[in-house]
Structure 1
Amino acid sequence: MISTRLQDAINEQINKEFFSAYLYLSMGQYFESKFLRGIAHWFYVQYKEELKHAEKFISFLNEKGGRVILNGIPAPKVEWNGALDAFNEAYNHEKFITSSIEDIMKIAVEENDFSTQNLLNWFLDEQVEEEAQTLEIVKKLELVGEHGQALYMLDRELAQRQG
């Protein structure tokens, strides 16, 4: 069995993962409307990844004998001031998610819940990758800008992302 404290923290994280998916879907739709389908594709892949993360937490909580409680998901933002603005927001959001998972890890360590720590280690490793990928795009946009050929080339590059 999992403690009520950890169950509650994981339920909150499930909600954050669903919000993450919703946010990235919204970002994808924004870039669809700008005819930047490669950038949109990158966000769609991210959207699907966040859904998988939520499902992983749900499965774990069920396997540990916990109860999954789904809460409402707030509406995401729908407008950005271009690609750099959106990717900066995505990067900051990933840092927020990392911090949230670290907070759950602190509880798992306090409670000597080793199986939850193991799960959270997987997520923390995943977050290192997520932050690095997003930061790389931010840095590229800062370097080359987001107009003309530079944006066109980045859009083509991001279209290649595998899911």
Structure 2
Amino acid sequence: MNEKVANLLIDQINKELYSAYLYLDLANFYSDKGLDGFANWYDVQVQEEMAHADLMKQYLRNNSVRIELSAIAKPDREFTTLTDPLQIGLEHEKYVTSLIHAIYAAASDDHDFRTMEFLNWFVKEQGEEEKNAQDLLNKMTLFGDDARALYLLDNELKARVYTAPSLTL
């Protein structure tokens, strides 16, 4: 495996773990506000991001790449409204998409078709992640000022459960 591609994937493991850390922070914010459904939605996101990091770790191990982890940064965002974390979550998913695309481009430049195939799942996943984040932000923008609608949306989000990714390495 090309060293540049391997290093980008190793760095992405750190970014996925940061994503989990960020979403844990967002879950804590909503939990503190008594919005357990929103907290649950982000707790599921935490599990997904940890799984993404694990998939990348296993892929690198399967390709005999030594993985050296770096420190995970502390999320440093301030939230003043109930919508702020949702906006931050959407922006973060767009950022992660750009990172996945950069790794894919580097693998393509190196004609690393196996890594490109591996990353295809993440490209699709990021499309889903952005859509889910945008849909949640849209619902909150539409209903957030209505206490009853917010209550119903919060209850809807309580039903979300984690489903492990089905990606063959």
TM-score normalized with structure 2 length: 0.92
Matching residue of 1:9: 8
1:146 to 1:119, Cα distance in 2 relative to 1, 3 A:
farther
For residue 9 of structure 1, report the CA deviation from its aligned partner. 0.5
1:34 to 1:128, Cα distance in 2 relative to 1, 3 A:
same
Q: Which amino acid aligns with 1:68?
A: I
Q: Which amino acid aligns with 1:94?
A: E
Q: Aligned equivalents of 2:155 and 2:66: distance in 1? A: 43
Matching residue of 1:148: 147
Matching residue of 1:127: 126
For residue 145 of structure 1, report the CA deviation from its aligned partner. 2.5
Determine whether 1:73 maps to 2:96: no
Deviations 1:121-159 (A, max 9, x none): 100101111111110011111222345112111111111
Q: Which amino acid aligns with 1:141?
A: M
Does structure 2 conserve the Cα–Cα contact (< 8 Å) formed by 1:83 and 1:146? no
Q: Which amino acid aligns with 1:115?
A: R
Q: Which amino acid aligns with 2:151?
A: Y
Identity %: 37
Matching residue of 2:54: 55
Q: Aligned equivalents of 1:73 and 1:147: distance in 2? A: 37
Q: Aligned equivalents of 2:51 and 2:32: distance in 1? A: 26
Q: Which amino acid aligns with 2:142?
A: L
Structure 1 outlier segments of 4+, above 3 Å: none
Matching residue of 1:37: 36
For residue 73 of structure 1, report the CA deviation from its aligned partner. 0.6
Q: Aligned equivalents of 2:157 and 2:36: distance in 1? A: 9
Does structure 2 conserve the Cα–Cα contact (< 8 Å) formed by 1:7 and 1:67? no
Matching residue of 1:19: 18
Gaps of 5+ in 2: 163-169
Q: CA RMSD of the aligned region, Å?
A: 1.1
